[in-house]
Amino acid sequence: MTSSTNLDTRPATPADRSLDRRSGRHRAGRVTIRTLAAAGAFLLMALTTGTVLDILGVDPTSGGYEPPFTDYRGEPIDWDTDAYDTPTGMVGTGHVLDVHIDCTTGMISFEAMGVATFDYRRLSDRALAIHEPRQACQERGFTPQF
């Protein structure tokens, strides 16, 4: 049996040298794909990091999970500095996620990058006792039903 060999003996041109012989693609195409892949990986990592930081920062307190909710650590949310007013309630902004508090129903919602809004749950008894959102809503002229 004979093995097949490359019988092309013509001299290599600059265009031939820029080709990747295995795939037939130009090196510039590989560099572009790798650059875009690296940028995408960086953006995905930044998005993930921002989301994790936002979730961890929703409640800056810990402990005090049993009534009367007094044995907690950390600072309660300062509604005057940590949130701004909207027609329906208050919003705390984050890197990726914004936290909406509806001052009529007490519903907590998350808004992802200003695109999608997800209803999460009503304010818990612990949140009402420690962070006092009912009082903050009343100060802003709302009539809380929670």
Q: CA distances (Å), 45 to each of 41, 51, 73, 75, in order?
A: 6, 10, 31, 29
State the DSSP code for 26.
B
Q: Among the residues of 6-85, which ranges form H helices?
A: 14-17, 27-56, 79-82
How many angstroms separate the CA atoms of 134 and 96, rounded?
26
Q: Which of 96, 93, 97 is nearest to 84 (CA)?
A: 93
Domain boundaries, the chain: 14-55, 59-139
Q: Which amino acid is at 113?
A: M
Average confidence (pLDDT) over 75-102 = 96
Instruction: State the pLDDT at residue 30.
Output: 84
Maximum pairwise Cα distance, the chain: 92
Position 13 pLDDT exceeds 70: no
Position 39 pLDDT exceeds 70: yes
In this structure, the chain runs to a length of 146
Instruction: State the pLDDT at residue 95.
Output: 96
Position 138 pLDDT exceeds 90: yes
How many angstroms separate the CA atoms of 68 and 130, rounded?
10
Contacting residues for 143 by C-beta, under 8 A, at least 6 apart:
104
Higher pLDDT, 28 or 53: 53
Contacting residues for 125 by C-beta, under 8 A, at least 6 apart:
67, 69
pLDDT band, residue 27 (cuts 50/70/90) = confident
